[in-house]
Amino acid sequence: MSAPIRISAQKGELAGCEADVGIVYRFRGDEDVCGPLGAPLAKRLSGVARADHFDGDAGRTLLWHAPGREGERCGRYLILGLGPRNELTLDRYRHYIGEACIQADRLGAASVAIPLLEAGAAPLGSREAGVALAEGVLLGTYRFERYRSQPEAGRRHLRSVTVAAGSVALREVESAIGLGEVCASATNFARDLVNEPAGVMTPERMAAIARDVGAETRIAVRVIEPDELRSMGMGGILGVGQGSRNPPRLIQLNYAPDEGARKKVAFLGKGLTFDSGGLSLKSAEGMETMKCDMAGSAAVLGAMRALPELNPPVEVVGLMGMAENMPDGGAIRPGDVLKIMNGKTVEVRNTDAEGRLVLADLLSYAGSMDGVESMIDLATLTGACMVALGPLASGVMGNDQVLVDDILRAADRAGEKMWPLPLYREYREHLKSEIADVKNTAIRYGGAITAGLFLQEFVRPGLPWAHIDIAGPSFGDKDYSYIRRGASGAGVRTLIHYSLNIE
């Protein structure tokens, strides 16, 4: 994991901040750079931009080595283009800040100073800008280097960021930065979990980490072992895990606010610590990144870890279904029938469609709890969702449009790409089994939707439920702006913003 970066706010203008690199803004179409810089510095940097024909195109940068005259307390200044003023969005700003900090880090800067985008100078509120700035810094500079034997020789990394607050009240800026830090820290925590090798991050290890989170926060943690899973009738998670030497676990986390909760919701995460496909074995290439198949559970644990600090007015139950899908002599076979906690039976047609079997038990369990008013599951569930939406977006579907819309609004606030998918009842026909209540695979086409319809079989009638398929954005093999290759922490910030804005 990256070493922590300290973000602090300072009264006044950027000219009063000392750092290795100062970052300033220019909108395309504006004559001058903008933000609380101080008049002499703003005039000098505006002249530099014009002399180099730097127009402020979105995401472009111009590096200027300061000669060290009075008013230039940073050794270098990075002029960051924000594009046309009327096209700047919160997510674009977050991306641009992240990319600029990555560039500063590559330049060997240990410290950076950035002016706050003040309301009125940009189409964003100062608080929104402060949250996005902190997220862009911390998400963009994340690194997972635990298994490198040697650091890069002579390499310095970014350690501190100072935000020039301008005329905005320092307390307001510090509060915004604090929220951004909590959201980004929770996301990076989930990234760490997913980036760990599967041989380390077993179901038992995830349970130990969850207990540590409980000890550090006021979250109650319960780990349900295989014998108790058996007595509860959880045939799905037990069936998936029976081919592994690492037995499955169900991890339950409970958060309650300081005062009365407006609502009680459940967050459910698929936690396949490694997915070989079971006897329906994946190809060697298909297994290369299957340590990421527990990204749904990592998102739930990351979000739950953040809730006590933010104290949203909602009671949350987090459920993580942890198992390893391996192909030994005791593994489930195609044609086997499993009985889920709610009593329904499933014919296993393909052992590589295992995540839905784990979620079936989680959905049944959450639906049996007193007071749960809605539930959201997250899972790296289908390649079909990646085919439909590509590697950046999650698919959202459910039985309650209000809940789906709330999730999409939360995702928009968080800067996570999500898109609604339907649950066409007609496709339910393709899940019918000749020997059981339902089978775990359907036709080739519409696989994300039929997987959602399968999950719906285990939702208590009348209980609002939504499913987020994070198969695309959870783990990448290339850099997308401030989200680097590897684990992204998909879903964490959406769950946090959903919790903060629940009605």
* Gap between the Cα atoms of 1 and 9, Å rounded: 24
Residues 249 and 225 sit within 8 Å (Cβ to Cβ) = yes
> 282, 344, 417, 460: which one is catalytic?
282
Would the pLDDT of 123 be above 90? Answer: no
> What pLDDT digit, counting tens, does each position of 229-288 carry?
999 999 999 999 999 999 999 999 999 999 889 999 999 999 999 999 999 999 999 999
> What pLDDT digit, counting tens, does each position of 419-440 carry?
999 999 999 999 999 999 999 9
* Gap between the Cα atoms of 428 and 442, Å rounded: 9
Phi-psi region of 233 (alpha: psi -120 to 50; beta: other; left: phi over 0): left
* Gap between the Cα atoms of 447 and 457, Å rounded: 16
| pLDDT of amino acid 149 | 81
- What DSSP designation does 343 have? S
Single out the residue of 6, 7, 74 nearest to residue 38, CA to CA. 74
Would the pLDDT of 2 be above 60? Answer: no
> What pLDDT digit, counting tens, does each position of 314-324 carry?
999 999 999 99
Averaged over 120-145, what is the pLDDT?
A: 89
Percentages helix, strand, coil for the chain (3-state, rounded to 5) are 40, 25, 40
Single out the residue of 361, 4, 420 nearest to residue 184, CA to CA. 4
| pLDDT of amino acid 157 | 86
Single out the residue of 156, 50, 45 nearest to residue 104, CA to CA. 156
Averaged over 489-500, what is the pLDDT?
A: 98
> What pLDDT digit, counting tens, does each position of 148-190 carry?
887 665 456 899 999 999 999 999 999 999 999 999 999 999 9
Strand 465-469 and strand 249-255: pairing? Answer: unpaired
Single out the residue of 316, 196, 185, 297 nearest to residue 251, CA to CA. 297
Residues 267 and 378 sit within 8 Å (Cβ to Cβ) = yes
Averaged over 451-474, what is the pLDDT?
A: 98
| pLDDT of amino acid 119 | 65
Residue 182: what are its φ and ψ, rounded to 5°? -65, -45
What percent of the chain shows pLDDT beyond 70?
Answer: 97
| pLDDT of amino acid 35 | 87
Q: What torsion, rounded to 10 degrees, do the Cα atoms 448, 451, 452, 453 define?
A: 130
State the residue for tokens 């995460």: 269
State the pLDDT confidence band at 70, using cuts at 50, 70 and 90. low
Contacts of 260 (CB under 8 A, 6+ apart): 313
| pLDDT of amino acid 334 | 98
> 270, 356, 484, 493: which one is catalytic?
356
Least confident interval from 87-91, 146-150, 435-439, 469-473: 146-150
Would the pLDDT of 483 be above 90? Answer: no
Average pLDDT over the chain, rounded to whole?
95
Q: Which residues of 134-167 are buried (b: 16+ CB within 10 A; e: fewer)?
A: bbbbbbbbbbbeeeeeeeeeeeebbbbbbbbbbe
In whole angstroms, what separates CA 172 from the centre of its chain? 25
- What is the pTM assigned to this prediction? 0.96
What percent of the chain shows pLDDT beyond 90?
Answer: 90
State the pLDDT confidence band at 68, using cuts at 50, 70 and 90. confident
* Residue 63 tokens, joined: 């590096």
Residues 79 and 96 sit within 8 Å (Cβ to Cβ) = no
Rg (Cα) of the chain, in Å, rounded?
24
Residues 482 and 98 sit within 8 Å (Cβ to Cβ) = yes
| pLDDT of amino acid 72 | 79
State the pLDDT confidence band at 478, using cuts at 50, 70 and 90. confident
CA angle 349, 398, 299 (to 5 degrees): 80
Active site residue 249: no
Residues 278 and 334 sit within 8 Å (Cβ to Cβ) = no
* Gap between the Cα atoms of 336 and 298, Å rounded: 29
* Gap between the Cα atoms of 453 and 363, Å rounded: 13
| pLDDT of amino acid 124 | 82
Phi-psi region of 129 (alpha: psi -120 to 50; beta: other; left: phi over 0): alpha
Residue type, 496: I
Active site residue 291: no
